Amino acid sequence: MEIVGQLQKQYVDFINSLFREGYLDDQYVQLQKLQDDSNPEFVVEVVSIFFEDSEKLLNDLASSIQQQVVDFKKVDGYVHQFKGSSSSVGAQRVKNACVAFRNFCEEKNLDGCSRFLNLVKQEFYLVKNKLETLLRLEQQILQAGGTVPLIE
Amino acid sequence: MDSQTVKPMLVSLSNAYWKSGDGISDQFPVGLRVLVVDDDTTCLKILDSMLKKCGYEVTQKSDAESALDLLRKNKNGYDIVISDVHMPDMDGFKLLEHIGHEMDLPVIMMSADDSKDVVLKGVNHGACDYLIKPISIEALMNIWQHVVRKRKQELKEKDFEGSGISEDGEQQQKSPENFDYSSSANEANYKNLKKRKDEEDEEERDDTSTLKKPRVVWSTDLHQQFVNAVHQLGIEKAVPKKILELMNVPGLTRENVASHLQKFRLYLKRASQHQSGHNNAFMGPQEASFGPISSINGLNLHALTTTGQIPAQSLAIFQAAALGRPTTTSVPIVDQRNIFSFGTPKLTSGDDQQQPNNNIEQMNLFHRIPSSMEPKQLATLNPFAQSSGGMNMQVDSPAQMGQPQRMTQVFHDINGGSHVSCLASSVGQPNLLQVIPSGVHGPSYSSVSQPSTPPGDSFTLMSNSGLSTLTSKGMLQEEVNSEMKGSRGFVSNYVVCGGLGNSPNTIQLVNSSLADNALRIKNERLADMDFQNNPFPGQFSEEDLISALLKQPEDFGLVENEFNFDGYHPNNLPL
């Protein structure tokens, strides 16, 4: 099946580039391993939850920073949470941005926090985009009758 | 995965097995009932999937209150709880405390936060493990160990509570084991957990409840305090209550002290039993014959000496080994003896039996000192780091020891009046001294009370506590701890406290050198030894001893550079 082969190659190239560029890390592979016959849509489900929760989280973050009097502890709490969830799905760059973000929270550096909020948002949307593409490719492969190659 | 019909069976099976505390079903840990608490839905889902993949039964809760609620309604419904640290409605630590008090279930904390203070907090609040997010499935695969461990702990506590023989030793063993198994592989976690156990954190007092008693770790310091208190009161009059008062350690209970005291007394008793049998060894160092020597550190000197089998050559060799010099040299036996006592490589099997030698006497002396377990004698040697009845190293000259006295004095001098000598006790083990082969892992001890103990493995010059005491470096602590783990009974090991001025590294070298050497010497003929027939001069000066101990070449006219362990080459041994 030429199409399947092509799609698979596309998939492999793409996911490798994501690893290479640090968008995804090994945790994503762990998620893929959890997917099996009893749980065929696992990755899609988890990633969807991640996207949903993160949007909400980012909103909360934004509003917490925009307060008259910023409660840095609260901000830090959100960032910490985001760090946790992003690392759990393997969104490495998002996680790294969160780590740096927390430093500014600790320092109560509002300017730094604002900047990093933007950065974190940016990274999030980037990885969201990439993951959606990746998952779409997977779907296409499956629909074409092939299997999704598992990268180690 | 498990069908619906299979699950209930597994549940009941696991209940039955796990309740019994020791029965492990074939399917264990399949069916382990886990309660996961995390406000982050993504993580919750991932954990759920991972745990199920491990074969566990999973219940999810996204907030602490409902989790607690569930646990209260279903006290025996879960085996282990995994909870996030940061949650909006209740701090994960608070949840941890509640569970600890009310249900006494093992609780694993997890967080994306890997900072040491948070990990430490987890430990202090009683978490049995701390996982850093992102959590891998490997980390989850081994969580069942916490359930088993807790069950065992509970059983033992129940058994021994009354008799007061708490499983301190076990507790110590648990520590390293815990980390070996735990796949969380969190170094910070490890260090913090260890630190917590060693430090007798005050917060332990909070955890103390009727339901669950935190296990007391008899660290070097704590044991020393204990010993001091006992000595202050007098061994006859030392009662747990008074000891507790004197020690004044927050969080320590009378029961802890009572059980420790019991062990200590046992230790002393055995020591004195050996002592009485070995009196001659201590006396008349000049005699060619020597009394039975308690086995030391794997050296079954006792057996060897009684049979008159410890070859002078062996002694010489050991000494030489210790000294790092060829045994064929004409180094006075005295020196060697001194050294020998410290770093006696195991006199291995009785294969080496050869004629008794005066040297051995000397050896005995050294060995005896620690093994005799007489506080006084030991006191001179070194503060016992731990457990082992705190041979308080006060400089009391045991009446019966002529030689030992000298030795001890030497030690004392070496230590500059401090108790440095090398008696190190293993953590939690009733060992006087533990010479642990750094390079050799094995039952590196011989217990005084077990003359039949086969010559253990080679010595290592080292005593965790001793070294720690000496050098204030916990460097070998961990090593010793792990070694100690395997030791039993009373170990009359010597630790050559090179601590006085020597870097720990030196000691380590010595250890490994000796260890290697010991192994090498093991079955070799010592007939070549020159001093084989040398009488026991017993004339070594204190300086010699000190030098031997410290292996500081300058002072030791007799010993040359070979005393420098760094330069020790096993090849030097004329074996």
What tokens does B83 get?
């909870």
- Within 8 A of B134 by CB-CB distance, chain A residues are 27, 30, 87-88, 90
B36 touches chain A (CB under 8 A): no
Residue A43 has pLDDT above 90, yes or no: yes
What is the distance between the alpha carbons of residues B126 and B128, in angstroms, rounded to a whole number? 6
CA B29 to chain centre: 30
Partner-chain contact A80 B113, CB within 8 Å: yes
CB contact under 8 A, A81 and B137: no
Taken in order B22, B24, B28, B32, the sign of the CA dihedral is negative
- B17 to B59, B158, B174, B427: CA distances (angstroms): 20, 18, 21, 32
Distance from CA of A46 to the nearest CA of B (A): 6
- The C-alpha atoms of residue B121 and residue B114 are separated, in whole angstroms, by 11
- Whether A42 has a pLDDT exceeding 70, the answer reads yes
Interfacial A residues in 84-103 facing B (CB < 8 Å):
84-85, 87-90
**B112 interfaces chain A, CB cutoff of 8 Å:** yes
Residue percentage of chain A with pLDDT more than 70:
99
Are A49 and B41 inside 8 Å of each other by CB? yes
- pLDDT for B214: 61
Q: How many A/B residue pairs have CB atoms within 8 Å?
A: 57
Q: What is the DSSP string of B73-128?
A: HTTTS-SEEEEES--SSS-HHHHHHHHHHHT---EEEEES---HHHHHHHHHTT-S
| Angle in degrees, CA B458, B414, B384, rounded to 5 | 55
Provide Rg for chain A, Cα atoms: 18
Question: From first to last of its 575 residues, what are the pLDDT tens digits of chain B?
Answer: 444 444 444 444 444 444 444 444 456 678 899 999 999 999 999 999 999 999 999 999 999 999 999 999 988 899 999 999 998 888 899 999 999 888 888 999 999 888 888 899 888 998 999 999 999 999 999 898 888 888 888 888 777 665 544 444 444 444 444 444 444 444 444 444 455 445 444 444 444 444 555 677 788 888 888 888 888 888 788 888 888 888 888 888 888 888 888 888 888 888 877 766 554 444 444 444 433 333 344 444 444 444 444 444 544 444 444 444 444 444 444 444 444 444 444 444 444 444 444 444 444 444 444 444 444 444 444 444 444 433 343 434 444 444 434 433 433 343 433 443 333 333 334 443 333 334 334 343 333 334 444 443 433 333 333 333 333 343 434 443 444 443 443 434 443 333 344 444 443 333 444 444 444 444 444 444 444 444 444 444 555 555 555 554 444 444 444 444 444 444 544 54
Helix (H) or strand (E) holding B66: helix B64-73
Closest CA to B84 of B76, B69, B94, B70: B94
CA distance B328 to B322: 14
Cis before residue B375, ω within 30 degrees of 0?
no
Q: Which of B1, B43, B113 sits opposite A88 (nearest CB)?
A: B43
**Cβ proximity of B339 and B323 under 8 Å:** yes
Of the candidates B45, B113, B137, which has its C-beta nearest A30's C-beta?
Answer: B137
pLDDT at B156 (0 to 100): 85
In B135-278, alpha helices (H): 137-141, 144-161, 168-181, 187-199, 204-207, 220-233, 240-247, 254-277
Cβ within 8 Å, pair A84-B1: no
Residue that wins the pLDDT comparison between A77 and B385: A77
Edge to edge, the sheet with strand B80-84 lists B57-61, B33-37, B80-84, B107-111, B129-132
> CB-based contact (8 Å) between B539 and chain A?
no
pTM for the full predicted model: 0.46
